[in-house]
Amino acid sequence: MGKIIFEGQEISFDMIKGGHWPMHSQYLSETLDFCQEWLNGKAEFQLQTSGSTGNPKTITVSRRQMQISAAATGAFFEIPVNSTLLCCLNTSMIAGRMMLVRAMEWDSLLHLREPEGLPLATFSAQQYWDFVAMVPAQVENCLMKPAEKQKLQSIAKLIIGGAPLSSQVQLALSQIPIKAYQTYGMTETVSHIALAEITGSLPLIYQVLPGVVINTSEDGQLIIDAPMAEQRLHTHDRVEIIGTDRFHWLGRSDFTINSGGVKIQPEIVEQKIAGLMNDLFPGTRYIIAGAAHEKWGEEVVLLIEGAEASDLIGQLMEGMAEQLEKYHRPKKVLFIENFASTPSSKIKRKESLSLALEKAKEDQ
């Protein structure tokens, strides 16, 4: 029978099922409340969407959907019996919830940690993990510290979700011996429905999980038929399908910039300037966005998180002029102290743009 280990305390699934566990933090209590409901057969659960592309909302997800998702992930990665997992995520959101479900469905040993920047810090370098899920900020923090970077290599399968990984982090991961995957999914698909192994090559190639069928609409938006989703899902993601079960993710159609009739996908521009940004602003988050323009409808702007660095703007603009097509080049560079983000660290693009434009107006 599996169990959960939290701060050195072992709590078996039998104890959780019966409601017997030591009083501790609110995080542990809320986490084990969900586990108890699951182990006692509860049929439906309420989940909060992240709000990355609209207002957050509560949806109902069935036990069967979550079981199908866990089984598909287990089959994809060939997770062994008596596996050892680590959950270091917010367990009120779908990514964390599904780590709990996987542990219970796979009868695993699950180490539980409250979400923090360095999730492996309290574990020894000898600790082995069959399966771990992290958000990009946690991975990036681990890569920056030699001891934590070494610990990453003790993970057999690492999935990373909540937000896209920067090309710099992808390259760093590809240079160490680890099987790491960027996920594609959402709350409505009950966690990921596709995974892309991080090899250092761009763009990433996503492979769908067993049982998932993908198509595109006339305008290239991804359509998903998946057993872990209750109905066909029409997404806002523009993709290029390869064969029948793989795809390149191009970006979100609702982020597309229309500047004088030229349609620009910001995520593609971001990839093209990744090397330049890493040279001039190492470790700094940035996004491309479309700001309103009287003549062109929208103009391309670059938003950089952090303190203003006006001394680097000249080099930056020159570099972008060399690497980008004329209409794809940002006309402005705006700095913002902190991007607006979801609980899973995904940047809220429209809110961040509004904040940056307000700041720029105040500074005039």
Single pTM value for the model: 0.84
| Domain boundaries defined on the chain | 3-200, 256-363
Give residue-wise pLDDT tens across range 97-114: 999 999 999 999 999 999
pLDDT of 53 higher than 50: no
Give residue-wise pLDDT tens across range 147-206: 999 999 999 999 999 888 888 889 899 999 999 999 999 989 999 999 999 998 888 999
Q: What is the mean pLDDT of residues 272-295?
A: 91
Please give the pLDDT value at position 219.
Answer: 86
Phi, psi dihedrals of residue 113, rounded to the nearest 5°: -135, 140
Q: Where does the pLDDT of residue 142 fall: very low under 50, low under 70, confident under 90, or very high at 90 and above? A: very high
The residue written with tokens 């290599």 in the block is: 153
pLDDT of 54 higher than 60: no
User: How far lies 3's CA from each of 13, 104, 259, in Å?
Assistant: 5, 8, 55
d(C-alpha 223, C-alpha 29), whole Å? 38
The full 3-state SS of the chain, as one line of letters, equals CCEEEECCEEEEHHHHHCCCCCCCCHHHHHHHHHHHHHHCCCCEEEEECCCCCCCCCEEEEEHHHHHHHHHHHHHHHCCCCCCEEEECCCCCCHHHHHHHHHHHHCCCEEEECCCCCCCCCCCCCCCCECEEEECHHHHHHHHHCHHHHHHHCCECCEEECCCCCCHHHHHHHHCCCCCEEEEEEEHHHCEEEEEEECCCCCCCCEEECCCCEEEECCCCEEEEECCCCCCCEEEEEEEEEECCCEEEEEEEHHHCEEECCEEECHHHHHHHCHHHHHHHCCCCCEEEEEEEECCCEEEEEEEEECCCCHHHHHHHHHHHHHHCCHHHCCCEEEEECCCCECCCCCECHHHHHHHHHHHHHHHC
**Distance from the Cα of residue 242 to its chain's centroid:** 22
Q: What is the mean pLDDT of residues 272-285?
A: 91
Please give the pLDDT value at position 138.
Answer: 94
Angle, alpha carbons 79-82-85 (nearest 5°): 65
β-strands 257-259, 262-264 pairing: antiparallel
Which range is least confidently modeled, 21-30, 143-152, 293-302, 314-323?
21-30
Q: What is the mean pLDDT of residues 340-360?
A: 86
CATH 3.40.980.10 is held by the domain 3-200: no
Give residue-wise pLDDT tens across range 229-244: 988 999 999 999 999 9
Q: Domain 256-363 is classified in which CATH homologous superfamily?
A: ANL, C-terminal domain (3.30.300.30)
Q: What percent of the chain has pLDDT over 90?
A: 76
pLDDT of 268 higher than 70: yes
d(C-alpha 16, C-alpha 10), whole Å? 11
Q: What percent of the chain has pLDDT over 70?
A: 97
d(C-alpha 10, C-alpha 70), whole Å? 23
d(C-alpha 71, C-alpha 106), whole Å? 8
Residue 312 amino acid letter: L
Please give the pLDDT value at position 35.
Answer: 97
Please give the pLDDT value at position 1.
Answer: 66
Give the chain's length.
364
Please give the pLDDT value at position 52.
Answer: 47
d(C-alpha 56, C-alpha 302), whole Å? 26
